[in-house]
Amino acid sequence: MTDRVTLSFSEQGVATIVLSHPPLNIYDLAMRDGLIESITAVRDNPDARSLLIRAEGSNFSAGADLAEFGSASSIFEGRRIRWDRDPWLPLLGLSIPTVVALKGYAVGSGLEIALLCDIRIAATNVVLGLPETKLGMLPAAGGTQTLTRLVGPAAAAPLILTGRNFDADEAAKLGIVSEVTEVAELDKTAEKCAAQLALLKPDIAMKLRRCISASKDLPLHLGLELERRLALNS
């Protein structure tokens, strides 16, 4: 791991990744590398049953380190370097359920990481958003796709096109977060959720996640067929 990211495993099989670059947990290249390394370690650990992603300090993540874009020859080159080191596909490729605990700022790449997780739990003080639009950029770490698939085009479009921030109550109404809790209770609530998910049989957890994911793309009759086929093989 790097000094930006730590990884631990509990006896119950809960893997915990902690973003550790306070105060804002800016998502720089070192954090990207740490996340990839940590997610790979979780994938390769046969005893891992669920994953919790949380952060040290008052904020989950205020997004990418914009100063790093200035060090590249162009914005495109800066983006290309980051795409080559993005943890999105490794995170999506995990076979275990994933939980993320959000507090303070969770914007830009910070929100995009969260949107790739199965369950999002937010503190009452969370500030969410994809502000890249205001900077003349696309939220191209998956935000245009994951948010739209989660809440639908009609609800996603105003958030993406304006780049405005939104709070925990609005996120809960839209279904972006599944639970809102007090800041002091956030980590405990998320840990309890991850521990419950770790009790699932690994093959059942993998099949449930596959069915849920497929529902975004498959027609209903094909989704039902997939569900039936996986159930018969359980």
Cis? peptide before 23, omega within 30° of 0: yes
Catalytic-labelled residue, pool 56, 68, 77, 132: 132
Q: Which residue has 């502000």 as its token pair?
A: 131
50 Rama sector, left if φ>0, alpha if ψ -120 to 50, beta otherwise? beta
Contact assessment for residue 31 and residue 5, using Cβ atoms and an 8 Å cutoff: yes
What's the CA gap between 150 and 173, in Å, rounded?
A: 12
What's the CA gap between 29 and 219, in Å, rounded?
A: 39
Catalytic-labelled residue, pool 11, 37, 68, 112: 112
Catalytic (active site) residue 77: no
Catalytic (active site) residue 132: yes
Which residues are part of the catalytic machinery?
112, 132
